[in-house]
Amino acid sequence: MSRIFNFSPGPATLPLAVLEQAQQEMTDWHGTGMSVMEMSHRGKEFISIAEKAEASLREVMNIPEHYKVLFLQGGASSQFAMVPLNLMGKARKADYFDTGAWSAKAIKEAARYGHVNIVASSKDESYSTIPDRVLWELNENAAYVHFTPNETIGGLEFDAEPETGDVPLVADMSSTILSRPIDVDKYGIIYAGAQKNIGPAGLTIVIVREDLVGHASANTPAMMDYAVHDKAESMYNTPPTFAWYIAGMVFDWLLKNGGLSAMAEINERKASALYDCIDNSGGFYTNPVDKIYRSWMNVPFVMADSSQDAAFLAGAAEAGLVQLKGHRSVGGMRASIYNAMPEEGVQALISYMQDFQQKNG
């Protein structure tokens, strides 16, 4: 069977070149006679893989030396707890933006450990926009400010980082990391589950400014303490070795293909083409998000007649376009077009959408 175009929000499509390299090395990595999945995480073979992966990530994201890079587990959801446990300190208060389902989950978890001030919320607008900056209520005494740059479910994306002064900025970049260049120095912590734009599920990347490490609350479990993982070089317990290995190859794939500037150009083209298709459909397809805050990575859309959704999805699957069903809380369809989704895949989806409209409009 030939490869399909997989628009899953995560676990998501991976670069074919990476999959083919993993296939070649599956049973014998670099003449060792064993698979990466069989290696001891403390053996020299895997240590070389781990060190190379971190070096490649630092290069592709231009991560300064005064930031620690941790390869952890637990997904972004574990970071909803780790961030307040490590950063709230004696202040016991933090600022959070409420712009979608994932930021709401982060808020709910953080409230277990201290006071959460909602800087701004678009819940009353069904998370279709970012509140105007003049309405933001930032607390200069907050331990940190948390935001979700891209909301995977609603397809809502900040157009720039919030300016927080001396208060550390924390970002859940699970669905937008590596999609374009960013200035890491603007952040206190960046975290991301790997299964969207990095690699297989099971790995979580945390990039943390070194002065923020070592301040965990007294009763913080060892597994939730950044300092413990930093001291152990991300090997306090057995890490997800195969996911770490694949992630390293994805970082190298990005470097070989022009880095994040080149990726940003491709991603913007993909998203613009798909939104143009939606906007030029005469209302047959619509996207509910404020145009200036539309996501590059996750494009939700609905049809004027929702009774046609099932036929649309079935026809798409027959055409080799899969995982397009929207989240149950939003409905309709959603196309996740992360880095590894080629432009041909987006064009194939657009052609199918236009054909479906012509036959059913």
Mean pLDDT of 150-173: 96
Lowest mean pLDDT among 24-33, 62-71, 88-97, 107-116: 88-97
- CA-nearest of 117, 159, 114, 157 to 136 is 117
Check residue 1 and give its pLDDT. 60
One domain, residues 251 and 262:
no
pLDDT-above-70 percentage for the chain: 100
- Summarised one tens digit per residue, pLDDT across range 19-32 is 999 999 999 999 99
| 189-208 mean pLDDT | 97
Give 167's contacts (C-beta < 8 A, 6+ positions apart). 95, 138, 139, 140, 142, 143, 144, 145
**Residues 6 or more apart from 53 whose CB is under 8 A from it?**
71, 244, 245, 247, 248, 251
What is the rounded average pLDDT of the residues 199-205?
97
Q: Are 16 and 24 in contact (CB under 8 A)?
A: no
Identify whether residues 196 and 59 lie together within a single domain.
yes
SS3 assignment, position 208: strand
Average pLDDT score, the chain:
96
> Domain ends where: 205, 225, 256?
256
Q: Is 102 a catalytic residue?
A: yes
Answer whether residue 116 shows pLDDT above 80: yes
Q: Which residues of 275-305 are buried (b: 16+ CB within 10 A; e: fewer)?
A: bebbeebeebbebbbeeebbbbbbbbbbbee
Residues 138 and 173 in one domain: yes
* Range(s) of the domain holding residue 140: 25-256
215: pLDDT strictly greater than 90:
yes
Number of domains, the chain: 2
Beta bridge partners of 116: 94
| Domain identity same for 269 and 145 | no
User: Is the domain of 266 the same as that of 212?
Assistant: no
CATH number at residue 321: 3.90.1150.10
Q: What is the pLDDT of residue 2?
A: 84
Catalytic residue among 29, 68, 98, 102: 102
Confidence of residue 328 (pLDDT cuts 50, 70, 90): confident
Is there a single domain that holds both residue 336 and residue 209?
Answer: no
Residue 153 lies inside a defined structural domain of this protein? yes
**For residue 12, which phi and psi values (nearest 5 degrees)?**
-115, 175
Q: Which residues of 122-145 are buried (b: 16+ CB within 10 A; e: fewer)?
A: beeeebbbbbeeeeeebeeebbbb
Q: Identify the pLDDT of residue 338.
A: 98
Residues 62 and 117 in one domain: yes
Percent of the chain scored above 90 by pLDDT? 95
Catalytic-residue membership of 172 = yes
Contact 15, 250 (CB under 8 A): yes
Same domain, 216 and 290: no
Domain CATH for 251: 3.40.640.10
Please say which residue of 256, 280, 307 terminates a domain. 256
- 148 lies in the same domain as 69: yes
- Of 29, 68, 93, 196, catalytic: 196
Q: Which H or E run includes 288?
A: none
State the pLDDT at residue 89.
85
Q: Indicate whether 330 pLDDT > 90.
A: no
Q: Say which of 172, 225, 230, 252 is annotated catalytic.
A: 172
In a domain, 296, yes or no: yes
Where is the domain boundary, 220, 240, 256? Answer: 256
Q: What single string gives the DSSP state of each residue in 24-36?
A: HHSS-STTSSS-G
Same domain? 207 vs 138: yes
The answer to whether residue 289 sits within a structural domain is yes
Residues 6+ apart with CB under 8 A from 180: 260, 261, 263, 264, 267, 296
The string of pLDDT tens digits covering residues 247-286 is 999 999 999 999 999 999 999 999 999 999 999 999 999 9
DSSP secondary structure, 245-275, as one string: HHHHHHHHHHHHTTHHHHHHHHHHHHHHHHH
Q: Give domain status of residue 121, yes or no.
A: yes
Residues 264 and 179: beta-carbon distance below 8 Å? yes
Confidence of residue 319 (pLDDT cuts 50, 70, 90): very high
Q: Residue 155 falls within a domain, yes or no?
A: yes
Flag whether pLDDT at 160 surpasses 80: yes
20: in domain:
no
- In the block, which residue shows the tokens 């978890």? 109
In a domain, 122, yes or no: yes
Q: For residue 164, is it within any domain? A: yes
Q: Does residue 240 sit in the same domain as residue 289?
A: no
Looking at the structure, do residues 195 and 289 belong to the same domain, yes or no?
Answer: no
